[in-house]
A and B are shown apart, each in its own frame.
Chain A
Amino acid sequence: MTVNLTLLTVMGALYACGIYLILERSLTRVLLGLMLLANATNLLILATGGYAGLAPFFSKDTDPASYNDPLPQALILTSIVISFAVTAFMLGIIYRTWLLARQDDIQDDIEDRRVAETPSFDAEDDAVIPVETSEFPLPKLGSDGSDSSAAAEPAATVEAGGRTLLAEHAALEEKPGSGNIAAIDNDNAPRAGGAK
C-alpha cells in the first residue's frame, strides 16, 4: 500500500505540538493541545485512504478504486463532530473552574500529597487501648452511693492525628453517621458551661 509522507509529516508535527501543549499547566492550552491531537488523528485516518482520489459520489462507470476511500471519511466525519462536543464540554469546564477558583491552571491534587504524608501512626491500628476485662461493665459505686467509676480511673485517651482525645470520643467518632471530634467537643462545651 502507498503511504503519503506529506500527510504523515504534518500529522507528526501536529502530534508533537499537541503533546507539548497538553503537558502544560494552563487548562486553555491543554484544550488547544487536545484539538491539535484530534486534528492530527483525523489526518492519520485520512492518510489510510491512500492517494487522493475522486470525491466519493457514485457513478456507474467509475472504478471503485479511483474514489478516495469513503470508509476513513465516514470515520473522520464522526470524529470531527465528536471533537466539537468534547471541546464545548472542556470549555464549560474551563469557565466553571474560572468562576469557582479564578484560575485557569491545573492544580496539583492536594489529597494525593496528603496521602503521601500519612503518618505511620494510625489510631485504629496503633493507639494504646485500655484493657477490657468485661463485656458488662457495672458502674462502680463509691461509699456514698455515687458513681465513682469516672473519678477512680483517669479517662482513657487515644492518640489520633497528633491530638489526644478521650477514648470514648474517638469511639463515638467511629460510629456511622457521627460528626467529627470537634463537633462533639463543641457539643460538650455548652453543657459543661450550663452545669456550672
Chain B
Amino acid sequence: MITVLAVHFAVAAVAPFVFRKFGRNSFYALAAVPAGSFVWLLFQHAAVYGAGSHAKTPAQTGAPAEIVPWIPSLGLEFAFRMDALAWVMSLLVLGVGALVLVYCARYFKDEDSYLGGFGAQLLAFAGAMFGLVTADDLLMMFIFWELTTVLSYLLIGYARTRLAARRSALQALMVTTAGGLAMLVGLIMLGASAGTYRISGILEQAPELVSGPAAGAVAAAVVLILAGAVTKSALVPFHFWLPGAMAAPTPVSAYLHAAAMVKAGVYIVARLAPGFTDTAYWLPIVLGLGLATMLVGGYRALRQTDIKLILAYGTVSQLGFITMVVGLGKPDAALAGLAMLLAHGLFKATLFLVVGIIDHQSGTRDIRKLSGVFRSSRALGIVAGIGAASMAGIPLLGGFVAKESVLEAFVHFTAAPGHGPWGAVVLTGVVLGSVLTFAYSARFMWGAFAVKPGVERTPFKAIRTSFLAAPAALSVLTIVYGLWPAPVDAWIQPYAALFTGETQLTEGTSDAGSAAGAAGHLALWHGLTPALGLTAITFAAGAAMFYGRGLVDRIQSAIPPWFDADRGYQLTIGALDDVAVWITGRTQRGSLYFYLAVILTVAFVLPLSALIAANKPLPEGLYFVDPNSPLQLVAGAGIVIGALAAVRANKRFLAVLMVSVTGYGIALMFALQGAPDLALTQMLVETIILVAFVLAMRSLPPELRDRTGGKYRVVRVIIGLSFGATMVFAAIHAMGARIATPVSLEFPKLAYEGGGGLNIVNVTLVDIRAWDTFGEISVLALAATGVASLIFVRGRGDRLRTASAVAEGTVGRRHGVDKSSRDGAALALTRKFAAATRDPWLVAGRTLAPERRSIIFEVVTRLVFHSMIIFSLYLLLAGHNLPGGGFAGGLMAGLALTLRYLAGGRFELHEATPISAGTLLGIGLATAALSGAAPVLLGGQVFQSAIIEFWLPVFGDIKFVTSTIFDTGVYIVVVGLVLDVLRSLGAEIDEHFEERPLQLDAQEATGQEATEGGDQVSAGIPAGSTQGGKP
C-alpha cells in the first residue's frame, strides 16, 4: 500500500516534465499509475477476503496491514490496512481515477496552459484519496484528508484567471478546512479517550468507549468528526460549495465532486458506523441532515438550466441519501449503502464525463440552447441514457439493485420498534427524494439530448472514440453491476458483517450464514417486496413530475426562494472581513506614538502590579551615599539636570549638548565607581557622538518644535514617570533578591592565570567572554555599513579623488553672498590673504576654500595627530594590563581622524586613510575571527589564548598574550566604524552641500532670488562644526 502511494506521489512530482515533452498524451502515462494500482488491488482480493469472509471479530484481524513507525515518541506511524471497506473504496478511487485521466487526454488541448501542474495535482489527488481510505491511523487519515482538500482547491482553481473559479476554489477550501479543523479536534479527543490512534484498535474497543466513563467526550468527538464529514460531503447546511465547485474543469468535477472526494465524508461515516451509531447524536445528525440534503438537492436540481449544475445538485441529493443509509448502523443498510456508493460513483462519473463531452463539442451546457444532441451523437446519448437510468433506479442497472436494497433497509428501519414516527418520516422523505431523483434524471436527459421546439439545432462536432471510451467503460460496468450483482455483494458482505458482530454476541448465533442473512443480498429480483412497490410509486410520480414539468417550473418560480446558503456564506465571510478591518483599524493606527504608549504602559503596569501584589518589604542594605565615593551624589545631580534640560531644550544643538552632559556625567560616575576603562571609553564615545551629531544635523533647522503637545504631553509625563519609578523599584527588588555569590569573584584569578593580564575587564572582553565581543564587533560592522548605505545610497562610497586632483581653494566655497554686504566684504578680505600653497601643514589643507581654513587649527592638528595615533596604539597594547584596550584605542585613533577631517576637510580625511572603511571593517573582523579559529587548528579550543614570553633588546622581557591579536581586530573594526561615520555624515554630506549652492547660482542667473537657505547651508561645513564640536 505504501508502495502504491509512493508511486502516485513520485510520478506526480515528475509529471510537469513529462507534460513539457509529450503534451496532453502524458495523461495516458499518468493514467497507467492508478490503472496499475487497480490491477494490484484486484490481486489483493484473496488476501483481503480469504481471511475476512470467515472472520467474526469486528476488527477483521485478517486484513493485510503495513505499519512503519514514524515518530514513535508521539505515537505517530504510517499505518495502513486493507479491509473490505477500504478495498471497495479503493476500487472506486483507483478505477474512476484511471478512467478520468484517460478522458483528460482528449478533453484538454496541448496548448492549454498549466497542464503539467494540473495532471500532477490530479494524480496526486488519486494517491491522497487512496491513502485516506487505507490509512489505519486517525492522524494519518487526517493528513490525507487535508491533502485532498488542498488539491481540490488547486484543481477547482485551475482556470486561475477566471474570477468564478478562484472564488469557488476558495469557498470550497474555507468550508472543507473549517470542517476539517473540527474533525481534527474530534479525532484527537477520540484518540485520547481510546488511548490509541489506530482506527482498527479504536473500533475494537468502541463498545466500551460508547458506554464507558468517557461516553460524553466520545459522543462530542463523534459529533465533531461528523462535522468534518458533513462539510466534505456537502451536506446541508454546507451543500453550497459543491455546485460552486462546478467552476472546475469537468473531469475534476467527475472525479472529485462525484466519485471520490465528496465520498470521503461518507467514508468516515461508514468507517465509524460499526462502532459509534449508538452515540447520542449520531442518528439525528446523519438522518436529519442526510434527509434535508437529499430533498434540498433534488428540489434545486429541478430548477437548474445548466446540465452540469443539475448533476451537481443531484450529487448533493445523492450524498445525503448515501450518508443516511451508511449511517443507519444496520447490516442490511451497510450493505445497501456501500452498494449505492459504488453505483453512484459509476453513473455520476459517467454523466459528468458526458457533460464534459457535450460542452467540449458544442460550447454550451445550457439546456435552453442545447437541442438535438442525440441526433448528432447517438453513442453519447446511449451512454448518458444508461447513466441517467441507473441514477433514476430503472431495473437491470446497478442503480436499481442498490436502490432496491436501500429502500428495503429503510422499510426494515421503519418497521423496527423504537423509532416512533420518525421511521415513517424518514421513509417518506426517502421516497420523496427518489421521486425528485427520477424527475431530475429525466430532466437531465431531456435537457441535454432532446430536440426542443423553437431552439436551433446545436452545432456539434463529431466525437472521437478515444474521448468517449472512459464514460462508455463506466456505463458498461453499470450494466454488468445491474445484471450480476453477486460479486459486489460478496465484496461488501464482510463489512456488513461488522454490524452483526454485536448482535451475535447477544443472540449467541455465530455461523456466517446468519450474518449474511441479516444483511440480505444484492439481487435484481427479490420478489414482490414493499421496496418494489415503493419503486413503482417513485417511477409513476417521477414520470408525472417530468411530464408536468411546465407546471413544476411555475410552482417553483412562485415559491419565494428560501434562505440561500451561498448568500449566507458570503455574508458570514463579509462580516468576518469587516470585523477584521474594524479591529485592525482600532489597533493598527499607524502612529508610532500610539504603539509605543501601549507597549510602554504594559511594560510598567505588569511589573508594577506584580510588585504590589507580592507586597514584599524593601530589602535590607539600601543606602543613599556610597561611603567609598560620596561625590556620586554631585555627579548624579549633574546628570539629572542635564537630562531635564535635554527634555526642555527647544534648540536642536542645545538638546544634543545637554544629552552629552549626561553622558559625560555618567563617565564621571564610572570613574567614581571604580571603573576607569568605562570612564575612558565613555568620554571618547561621547566626544565622537557629539561631532557626529553636529555633522549630521547641520542641515536641519535649528528649532526643535514640540509637536506632540496638549493632552498627549500629560500622557507622556505619566508614562515616563511611572516607567522610571517602576524601574527603580524593580531594580531594588531584583538586586535585593540576589543570594548567590557573584561569579565574577573568580574573574581576577582567571584573568591573571588564564588570560595573562592584569586588567580584568579587558581580559573579560577579549578572553573570558570573547564570543560576546566577537558578536558585538559584527554588529558594529553592520551598523557602519548601514550608515554608509544610508548616506551614499549607491555602494559604500569607497572611492574618492585624491587631494592632488582637486583645484586649490575650491572646497566649501561660499556662494550666493551679496558682494556689497558686510559678509561679502569679509569674504573678499579672507580670499585676498589666502595663498594656499604657503601653509603645507596638512596634505589637503590647500584644497579648502580660504574662508574655511583655520591655520591655527591646522597647526595644532599637525602637532597632535601623530601623538594621538601613537597613544591609541599604546592603549591597545597596554590595555591588557592597564586601562585601555581595543575599544578605547580604536576610539582614540578615530578621534585623531576626526581632528584631521575637521581641520582639513574631506580630502584630508581621504589622505589620512588610504584604506577604505569597508576594507578596515573586513580586516578587523577577519583578524578577530582568525584569532578565534587559529587555536582550533593548533589543537586548542576556539578563542583559547596562549602566553608567549620572550626578550627583546630594547624592550626587555616581553609577555605577549595571543588575545591581543583579537583585541587588534576590535581596534581595527572600531577605527573602521568611526571612519565610516566621518565619511558618511561628514564628507558625503559636505558634497551634498556643495552641489546645492551651485544650483542656487544657476537660479540666480535666471533672475530668481536666492533663498535664505543658502546662508544656513554654508554655515555648516567644517568651520561650523568645529564651533559645535568644541563647546
Contacts and interface: CB of A to CB of B under 8 A. Distances in A.
Contacts of A91: 692-693, 696-697, 787, 981, 985
A127 interface: yes
Given A11-B728, A80-B678, A133-B365, A115 B581 contact: yes
Contacts of B992: 99
B748 interface: yes
Interface centre among A12, A70, A78 (most CB of B within 10 A): A70
Contact of B574 (A25, A94, A99, A120): A120
Contacts of A54: 674
B720 A1 contact: no
Given A17-B643, A134-B364, A6 B632 contact: yes
Contacts of B735: 1, 3, 47-48
A99 B685 CA distance: 26
B359 A85 contact: no
A124 interface: yes
A16 interface: yes
Interface in A72-93: 72-74, 76-78, 80-89, 91-93
Interface stretch (B92-100, B736-744, B951-959): B736-744
A14 B621 CA distance: 23
A7 B163 contact: no
Interface centre among A7, A14, A73, A127 (most CB of B within 10 A): A73
Interface in A37-53: 39-40, 42-44, 46-49, 51-53
Contacts, number: 399
26 contacts: A3-B621, A3-B735, A5-B732, A7-B673, A9-B636, A11-B731, A13-B724, A15-B724, A19-B716, A20-B647, A48-B735, A52-B626, A57-B881, A62-B748, A67-B760, A68-B674, A73-B677, A77-B678, A77-B761, A81-B776, A88-B985, A125-B167, A125-B570, A137-B363, A137-B364, A138-B459
A105 interface: yes
A126 B574 contact: yes
Nearest to A24: B708
Interface stretch (B325-333, B435-443, B654-662): B654-662
Interface stretch (B129-137, B375-383, B751-759): B751-759
A176 to B, nearest CB: 9
B639 interface: yes
B628 to A, nearest CB: 4
A144 interface: no
B245 to A, nearest CB: 13
Contacts of A138: 363-364, 459
A53 B748 CA distance: 14
Contacts of B692: 87-88, 91
Interface stretch (B69-77, B515-523, B542-550, B587-595): B587-595
Interface string A99-138: 1000011101111110111101011111101011111111
B626 A25 contact: no
A93 B787 CA distance: 8
Dominant secondary structure at the B interface: helix
B843 interface: no
B621 A20 contact: no
Nearest to A175: B161
Given A3-B736, A85-B977, A134-B364, A68 B673 contact: yes
B1030 interface: no
**A interface, size bucket:** 35 or more
B672 A52 contact: yes
Contacts of A182: none
Q: Which 5 A-B pairs have the closest CB atoms?
A: A116-B585, A112-B590, A16-B724, A109-B590, A68-B674
Interface string B578-606: 10010011101111110011001000000
B948 interface: no
A43 B643 CA distance: 14
A109 B360 CA distance: 52
Interface in B736-781: 736, 738, 742-749, 751-752, 757-761, 764-765, 768-769, 772-773, 776, 779-780
B715 to A, nearest CB: 8
Contact of A81 (B247, B570, B666, B780): B780
B624 interface: yes
Interface of A: 1-26, 28-29, 32, 35-36, 39-40, 42-44, 46-49, 51-59, 62, 64-65, 67-74, 76-78, 80-89, 91-96, 98-99, 104-106, 108-113, 115-118, 120, 122-127, 129, 131-138, 158, 167, 170-172, 174-175
B759 A56 contact: yes
Contacts of B574: 120, 125-126
A47 to B, nearest CB: 7
B864 to A, nearest CB: 22
A76 B363 contact: no
B623 A2 contact: yes
A177 to B, nearest CB: 12
Contact of A43 (B305, B591, B666, B791): B666
Contacts of B581: 115-116, 118, 120
Given A19-B719, A64-B749, A135-B249, A2 B621 contact: yes
A51 B672 CA distance: 11
A138 B578 CA distance: 40
B732 A58 contact: no
Given A92-B696, A117-B585, A78 B688 contact: no
A16 B716 CA distance: 9
Interface stretch (B502-510, B698-706, B832-840): B698-706
Given A11-B727, A58-B751, A132-B247, 19 more contacts: A8-B731, A13-B639, A17-B646, A21-B647, A52-B632, A56-B675, A57-B758, A73-B678, A76-B675, A77-B677, A89-B790, A91-B985, A92-B790, A104-B700, A106-B592, A108-B590, A124-B163, A136-B363, A174-B161
A82 to B, nearest CB: 6
B554 interface: no
Contact of B985 (A40, A92, A98, A99): A92
Contacts of B633: 6
Contact of B707 (A26, A36, A59): A26
A93 B776 contact: no
A95 B365 contact: no
A7 B636 contact: yes
Contacts of A123: 163
B100 to A, nearest CB: 16
